[in-house]
Amino acid sequence: MSATAQKTPPTACLALADGTLFFGKGFGATGQTTAELCFNTAMTGYQEIMTDPSYAGQIVTFTFPHIGNTGVNPEDDETADPVAEGMVVKWDPTEPSNWRATDTLDAWLTRRGRIAIGGVDTRRLTRAIRQQGAPHVALAHDPEGRFDIEALVNAARGFPGLVGRDLAKDVTCTQSYRWDEMRWAWPQGFVRREGPGHRVVAIDYGAKRNILRSLASAGCDVTVLPATATAEDVLAQSPDGLFLSNGPGDPAATGAYAVPMIREVLDRSRIPVFGICLGHQMLALALGAQTVKMNHGHHGANHPVKDLETGKVEITSMNHGFTVDAQTLPVGVKETHVSLFDGSNCGIRMADRPVWSVQYHPEASPGPMDSYYLFERFSKAMSEAA
């Protein structure tokens, strides 16, 4: 076992399933949690990352050291509460310096029941994740510094992992609702969309608010349905288009109920379909492809993706630990985008219908806006299909 050097007694401990220990200064809530550990390379957006439902079942290591320096505010939440189980950072969060801040990261995490550890050698931890894969871990925060190391390591070893787990059901909405709030814009902030729009049913596998805002800004009248919605539920809305959201967990597990719904909608209608992240994987499964677990996944706001049809390279925001196996795509389904980091699949489309999806996040919260045009393409496809 090994530990990072500390000048003061540690108040938090991160234990990996292989017995490796990292000690540091705890902040946020006290207690203990277990999860899969991943790393995120984004330089901004820690609040959006922590509240992204796609991080259910995971603790996030932030490779950028200055975490917490802009504080937190209600406008940047992607869902009502943090979904990531905890966070690991290099330096202890400082007092925020930002005109939008309404609270500190420490107080926000404490109030929301999420554990964090600072003072960790995140470079070393990130290298370990890249080389060995995303480990199972236990994270504990005790202001008195009392840790049962053996119990923590055993807890990490007992974590069931994400393979085979349907986590979308844990983060989806419980009932349908309408969404009309558009993207934040200076100086008004968030404004409501008015007037008629394309009727879009958005399936919530763990939808981020800024995805729904992007749909509204692209002229969509959005109705959100739970992940378990049936084809009857979808078609009862008389939609002009179907949107499949991001979300957490193993796509094959969620596909047990999502895939039959998507297939039936495709069989019974000709409406455009657009998927993002887990929604991309759900569409791929419905069309006959397969998904696989990645070594450490893609988590960050600087991922280069190539559009194979135009040759254009976009810098994208990503967050996924599973990927579509492009070798299993059936005839009639084309691979449209690939990662320039590792060549993994990042987009597909049906050859003869306006049905497509991407692995990355065109709403980019946080991240670059290179791919926002995909929402406008979805809107245009619905206009042409009308």
What residues are labeled active site?
277, 361, 363
Positive or negative torsion for Cα 278, 45, 58, 337: positive
| DSSP H or E run through 58 | strand 58-62
Residue 149 contacts by C-beta under 8 Å, 6 or more apart in sequence? 13, 15, 21
Distance of alpha carbon 51 from alpha carbon 46, whole angstroms: 9
Q: Which residues pair with 337 in a beta bridge?
A: 307, 347
Rounded Cα–Cα distance for residues 201 and 229 (Å): 10
**Tokens 């995140």 belong to residue:** 122
Name the strand (E) or helix (H) holding 232.
Answer: helix 231-235
Q: How far does CA 345 lie from the centroid of its chain?
A: 17
CB-based burial, 245-278: b 16+ in 10 Å, e otherwise: bbbbbbbbbbbeebbebbebbbeebebbbbbbbb
- DSSP structural state of residue 361: B
* Rounded CA separation 375/220 (Å): 9
Which amino acid is residue 20, in one-letter code?
T
> DSSP character for 72?
B
Place of tokens 């540690």: 10
| DSSP states along 112-136 | HT-EEEES--HHHHHHHHHHH-S-E
Neighbours of 299 (CB within 10 A): 27
| Number of other residues whose CB lies within 10 A of the CB of residue 117 | 27
Residue 349 in tokens: 């489309």
Cα–chain center distance at 47: 12
